Amino acid sequence: MRRMYRNEHLIKIQEQARETVSDLFEAYMSEPARLPDHVARREELDGRARMVCDYISGMTDRFALDLRGRLSLRDGDGPSGTGVIKASRGRGGPPS
Protein backbone atom coordinates (compact mmCIF):
# COMPACT_ATOMS: atom_id res chain seq x y z
CA MET A 1 0.00 0.00 0.00
CA ARG A 2 2.90 2.39 0.53
CA ARG A 3 3.51 2.60 -3.21
CA MET A 4 -0.13 3.01 -4.16
CA TYR A 5 -0.96 6.11 -6.17
CA ARG A 6 -3.27 8.21 -3.99
CA ASN A 7 -4.43 11.15 -6.07
CA GLU A 8 -7.22 12.99 -4.24
CA HIS A 9 -9.23 13.54 -7.43
CA LEU A 10 -9.04 9.85 -8.40
CA ILE A 11 -10.00 8.75 -4.90
CA LYS A 12 -13.08 10.96 -5.12
CA ILE A 13 -14.03 9.44 -8.49
CA GLN A 14 -13.56 5.91 -7.12
CA GLU A 15 -15.79 6.69 -4.15
CA GLN A 16 -18.48 8.14 -6.45
CA ALA A 17 -18.33 4.96 -8.54
CA ARG A 18 -18.67 2.76 -5.43
CA GLU A 19 -21.64 4.81 -4.21
CA THR A 20 -23.31 4.72 -7.62
CA VAL A 21 -23.06 0.94 -7.92
CA SER A 22 -24.22 0.45 -4.32
CA ASP A 23 -27.14 2.85 -4.75
CA LEU A 24 -28.28 1.18 -7.96
CA PHE A 25 -27.96 -2.27 -6.40
CA GLU A 26 -29.99 -1.28 -3.34
CA ALA A 27 -32.63 0.45 -5.46
CA TYR A 28 -33.14 -2.53 -7.77
CA MET A 29 -33.02 -5.08 -4.96
CA SER A 30 -35.73 -3.23 -3.06
CA GLU A 31 -37.85 -2.35 -6.13
CA PRO A 32 -37.17 -4.84 -8.94
CA ALA A 33 -40.23 -3.55 -10.81
CA ARG A 34 -37.99 -0.63 -11.85
CA LEU A 35 -35.91 -2.97 -14.00
CA PRO A 36 -36.58 -3.21 -17.73
CA ASP A 37 -38.75 -6.19 -18.65
CA HIS A 38 -35.96 -8.01 -20.51
CA VAL A 39 -33.88 -7.94 -17.31
CA ALA A 40 -36.69 -8.69 -14.85
CA ARG A 41 -37.47 -11.94 -16.70
CA ARG A 42 -34.15 -13.33 -15.46
CA GLU A 43 -35.10 -13.24 -11.78
CA GLU A 44 -36.71 -16.67 -11.71
CA LEU A 45 -33.73 -18.26 -13.48
CA ASP A 46 -30.85 -16.43 -11.82
CA GLY A 47 -32.24 -14.98 -8.59
CA ARG A 48 -32.71 -11.31 -7.83
CA ALA A 49 -29.16 -10.48 -6.69
CA ARG A 50 -27.53 -12.07 -9.77
CA MET A 51 -30.07 -10.43 -12.09
CA VAL A 52 -29.38 -6.99 -10.57
CA CYS A 53 -25.60 -7.50 -10.58
CA ASP A 54 -25.60 -8.57 -14.21
CA TYR A 55 -27.70 -5.56 -15.22
CA ILE A 56 -25.48 -3.08 -13.38
CA SER A 57 -22.24 -4.68 -14.58
CA GLY A 58 -23.32 -4.16 -18.19
CA MET A 59 -23.81 -0.41 -17.73
CA THR A 60 -21.38 2.19 -18.98
CA ASP A 61 -20.18 4.70 -16.41
CA ARG A 62 -22.20 7.51 -18.01
CA PHE A 63 -25.39 5.42 -18.16
CA ALA A 64 -25.04 4.38 -14.50
CA LEU A 65 -24.55 7.99 -13.39
CA ASP A 66 -27.47 9.22 -15.50
CA LEU A 67 -29.70 6.42 -14.24
CA ARG A 68 -28.75 7.17 -10.64
CA GLY A 69 -29.90 10.74 -11.20
CA ARG A 70 -33.14 9.66 -12.88
CA LEU A 71 -33.94 7.32 -9.99
CA SER A 72 -33.45 10.27 -7.60
CA LEU A 73 -30.89 8.41 -5.53
CA ARG A 74 -28.73 10.05 -2.85
CA ASP A 75 -31.36 12.53 -1.75
CA GLY A 76 -31.34 11.58 1.91
CA ASP A 77 -35.04 10.66 1.94
CA GLY A 78 -34.50 6.90 2.01
CA PRO A 79 -34.23 4.68 5.09
CA SER A 80 -31.64 5.97 7.56
CA GLY A 81 -30.89 8.89 5.26
CA THR A 82 -29.20 6.60 2.75
CA GLY A 83 -31.11 8.12 -0.14
CA VAL A 84 -32.28 4.77 -1.42
CA ILE A 85 -35.20 5.90 -3.60
CA LYS A 86 -37.26 9.06 -3.64
CA ALA A 87 -39.37 9.04 -6.77
CA SER A 88 -39.75 7.06 -9.94
CA ARG A 89 -39.65 8.44 -13.44
CA GLY A 90 -40.57 5.26 -15.23
CA ARG A 91 -38.62 2.06 -15.58
CA GLY A 92 -34.86 1.94 -15.22
CA GLY A 93 -34.07 1.07 -18.81
CA PRO A 94 -31.85 2.86 -21.28
CA PRO A 95 -32.78 6.42 -22.18
CA SER A 96 -35.06 6.72 -25.20
- pLDDT averaged over every residue in the chain: 79
Indicate whether 4 pLDDT > 80.
no
Max mean pLDDT among 4-8, 38-42, 79-83, 86-90 falls in 38-42
At 72 the pLDDT is 73
| Residues in CB range of 75: below 8 A, 6 or more apart | 83, 86
Entry pTM: 0.69
* Angle between helices 8-30 and 61-70 in degrees, nearest 10: 60
